[in-house]
Structure 1
Amino acid sequence: MASFEVIGGNKLQGDIYPQGAKNEALQVLCAVLLTSEPVTITNVPNIRDVNKLIELIRDLGVSVEQQAPDTYTFRAENINLDYLDTEQFVEQGRAIRGSVMIVGPMLARYGKAKMPKPGGDKIGRRRLDTHFIGFEKLGAKFNYDTQDSFYSVTADNLRGSYILLDEASVTGTANLVMAAVMAEGTTTIYNAACEPYVQQLCRMLNRMGAKISGVGSNLLTIEGVEKLHGTEHAMLPDMIEIGSFIGLAGMTGSEITIKNCRIPELGLIPDTFQNLGIKMEFRGDDIYIPAQDKYEVATYIDGSILNVSDHTWPGLTPDLLSVALVVATQAKGTVLIHQKMFESRLFFVDKLIDMGAQIILCDPHRATIIGLNKQIPLRGIRMASPDIRAGVALLIAALSAEGRSVIDNVEQIDRGYQNIDGRLNALGAQIRRI
């Protein structure tokens, strides 16, 4: 198990390039299973979860050629369906949550798929009902083995259907889109997630020969086709990493330029951090964050306390609430953080309280943060990273704190952030991997 030793209090300076989007990668990598022709994907992040998924589909029979550090060509010509019954597949499938998205393409192309209960962050209940209810509406038969927590679906012939999702699940939408592209007839998915990741997946599938309309909305119409072909696809920069860098710059009083951000795809992320008092300038497609000694939280028109909450797209992604919470600890003003989606995601605040932050955890979903206005810096402590996003939030806190911090279990951070210690050290941070 690795740890980060962090010496806080340093101001950072320079340019930083965001990695490819993790959440998009997990979708488009599964989509290569839909065709026997080559699919080339660029801007693939070198992070643990993505690398584990590439390893899984390679062991499933996909030919994988790395053309450059961030570019791969995949060819799913000789898939070994027997691999789904091996212990190695069970181990790989349980290692990452994104593995569930191989089910849709496998069902579409081969008429069957199975998956152990996937892993991922321990941030509360993360049910998969939306996925499998949707598959059933397309004509699949579903079985869940409670003895070994195994999901399986089979279908002789998928048929288009009207599907009203009970939640706007990103992975659920992606899985059902990939299943429906080769179903007979027309499928309509209402209350679909419309995050840029899903839009990217749909555009990639359309280039492969799919017929998906309504991309970017919550109503997708999919006309089934008999076959898909190969394509080339460039992934977006990771919006969660961009938001993390914005928060880091404000928290540490640093002057940072985040390069090639694809700003129109960021939704409310810049606005949220501006409401927390962080100044920024859009310079072409770059975001420039000037050094700020202090930042002040906005209030509503009537003077009431700012509420930062997650919502379905284009609302704020829940993956950035941990960072927003940490940033608020050193702002001038009070903020209510409302995490609606996951009931365990705010439990990392006990570490911030130990560092000196003034936080009231109201319940599993809400925390009130009384900003210290940078008058009382956080103090370094030893702590552990509970999940990807809380882990990077704790790293930001440690970089702003006085003295030495040690963050254990940084493999969690490595799951979502590529060489984060090396890239931040290049800007002047002091992070040592031990």
Structure 2
Amino acid sequence: MVNAFEIQGGKPLRGEITPQGAKNEALQILSAVLLTEEKITISNIPDIKDVNKLIELLGDMGVIVNRLNEDTYTFEAKDIDQDFFLSEAFKSKGGGLRGSIMIVGPLLARFGKASIPKPGGDKIGRRRLDTHFLGFEKLGAQFNYNQADGFYNVDASDLKGTYILLDEASVTGTANIVMAAVLAKGITTIYNAACEPYLQQLCKMLNRMGAKISGIGSNLLTIEGVARLGGTEHRMLPDMIEIGSFIGLAAMTGSEITIKNVQYKELGMIPDVFRRLGIKLELRGDDIYIPAQEHYEIETFIDGSIMTIADAPWPGFTPDLLSIVLVVAIQAKGSVLIHQKMFESRLFFVDKLLDMGAQIILCDPHRATVIGLDKQVQLRGISMTSPDIRAGVSLLIAALSAQGKSTIYNIEQIERGYQHIDKRLQALGADIKRI
């Protein structure tokens, strides 16, 4: 069966939309339940494929999982089935989920060993896992990769704190090493650590469980190992990528939208980058209100040169929103250079936008120049396929702003990251249906 969205574009939307819990936080927080046998309650969990697969995987390992309501679960990792990690079931489930790498740190810390199949995931260029493994090795873990069965086997019976300088400020890498280090003997220092709000959330949660982590929010974390961790309650942040996507959607479709409960202080420079594209937005309480705008004009730099928007590790601009910024720039007045530094081939979806009538020059795998149409010309609806989560939503935004009918195939990619997106957009007045 082929799943696709059929969209009749060109209609302004209006109303309120609430962002889901943060996908990238969920994968770390859920893995952390393995660090204790006590009960952990987590709320604001997004109902999306990648997260549901990880919850299912935890259940298969022997974690007692109870769903209290739509977005709240309790987890008790009392009895973990160590043999499960060598099973075919684990290989097929773990291998199909990038987030499965996140269980390694907690398993090493608590049980002194772990096996992990080679992970899968997005097609956005090479994503190395070396950072995770180098960090575990520095803490004293020993690894061997078994070519025959495609598993990494790790022995970590004697983890000791140490100084670690990360080769890149990887969010998942930092999180995984932090989870391994909280139960290691002695003091671990992680320099060039990721500083993302999601990682801060994880560290705060671990501290509530009894860990001793200092330097949270900076790129230098100090972790004093403890003997055991206890239970806690945790509420996840709203997904900043969804919030950015909805700001872009409002601008592209000339819609009046209020995004509810955004935890504004955790959004970093995201609102400012959209303001640079000329999008008006105002903070009302903890909601972002975006008025309907006929036009928005891209700022230039002070010397008059063309605006460049590039991604960088936090507190820089998140790479996950560059695809959205690129699409939103299509209908702006002015030009902008989009520079995707952190992942190659994430810009390769622009061919579909060109077919819709956008003016974009793809300079190389990392850079694209967008020449804004200033809403003088409407994009036209086409049939297209979504290559990855963020490009999928970018194409969805383009389709909602376009004239006529668009069909987007491979929407499983979109649904890995955005919960019930069709129903939530319908509530704003979008003409979108699943076929």
TM-score (structure 2 length as normaliser): 0.99
1:153 shift after superposition:
1.3
Rounded to whole Å, the distance in 2 between the matches of 1:407 and 1:209 is: 47
2:400 aligned partner: 399
2:140 matched residue in structure 1: 139
Measured after TM superposition, the shift of residue 148 of structure 1 is 4.2
2:358 and 2:248 map into 1 onto residues whose CA distance is 16
Q: Partners of 2:153 and 2:332 in 1: how far apart? A: 49
2:380 paired residue number: 379
Count of residue correspondences? 434
* Structure 2 residue identity aligned to 1:93: G
What residue is the counterpart of 2:249 in the other structure? Answer: 248
> What corresponds to 2:201 in structure 1?
200
User: Secondary structure at 1:184's aligned position in 2?
Assistant: coil
* Unaligned runs of at least 5 residues, structure 2: none
Rounded Cα–Cα distance in structure 1 between residues aligned with 2:151 and 2:412:
26
**Alpha-carbon distance in 1 for matches of 2:120, 2:277:** 33
Q: 3-state DSSP class of the match of 1:347? A: coil
Structure 2: distance between partners of 1:267 and 1:22: 17
Q: Paired residue for 1:57?
A: 58
Match of 2:159 in 1: 158
Task: Read off the aligned partner of 1:271 and give its amino acid letter.
Answer: D
2:312 corresponds to which residue?
Answer: 311
Residues in 2 aligned to 1:245 and 1:96: alpha-carbon distance in whole angstroms: 26
The equivalent of 2:424 in structure 1 is 423
Aligned counterparts, 1:155-194, within 5 A: 155-194=156-195
What aligned pairs does 1:1-400 form with structure 2 within 5 A after superposition?
1-400=2-401
Structure 2 distance, partners of 1:71, 1:116, is 29
Residue identity opposite 1:362 in structure 2: C
Look up the equivalent residue of 2:40 and give its one-letter code. V
| Identity between Structure 1 and Structure 2 (%) | 73
Secondary structure, counterpart of 2:33 in structure 1: helix
SS in 1 for 2:15: strand
CA deviation profile, 1:316-344 (whole Å, cap 9, x unmatched): 11000000000001110101000001111
State the AA in 2 paired with 1:304.
S
Q: Could you tell me how far apart the structure 1 residues matched to 2:362 and 2:31 are? A: 38
Q: Look up the equivalent residue of 2:132 and give its one-letter code.
A: H
Q: Deviations over 1:365-411 (max 9, x none)?
A: 00000110011111000000101000000000000000000000001
> For residue 387 of structure 1, what is the amino acid of its counterpart?
D
RMSD over equivalenced CA pairs, Å: 0.7
Q: For each residue in 1:2-49, what CA deviation from the matched residue of structure 2 results, as whole angstroms up to 9, or x when unmatched?
A: 100000001000011000000000000000000000000000000010
Equivalent-residue separation in structure 2 for 1:326 and 1:88 (angstroms): 40
Separation (CA, whole Å) in 1 of partners of 2:317 and 2:168? 16
One-letter identity of the residue aligned with 1:210: A
**What CA deviation, in whole Å up to 9, does each residue of 1:215-266 have, x standing for no partner?**
0000000000000000000000000000000000000000000000000000
Quote the offset at 1:156 in angstroms.
1.5
The alpha carbon displacement at 1:122 in A equals: 0.5
Shift of 1:95: 1.6
CA distance in 1, matches of 2:188, 2:280: 45
Q: Return the alpha-carbon distance in structure 1 between the equivalents of residues 249 and 266 of structure 2.
A: 20
After superposition, the C-alpha distances for 1:99-149 in whole angstroms (9 at most, x for unaligned) are 100000000000111111111111000000000000000000011233443
Q: Deviations over 1:259-294 (max 9, x none)?
A: 000000000100010001110001111000000011
Query: Over residues 152-205 of structure 1, what are the superposed CA-to-partner deviations in whole Å (9 max), with x where a residue is unaligned?
Result: 211121000000000000000000000000000000000000100000000000
Structure 1 unaligned residues grouped into runs of 5+? none
3-state DSSP of counterpart to 1:66: strand
SS in 1 for 2:336: strand
Q: Which amino acid aligns with 1:131?
A: H
When normalised by structure 1's length, the TM-score is 0.99
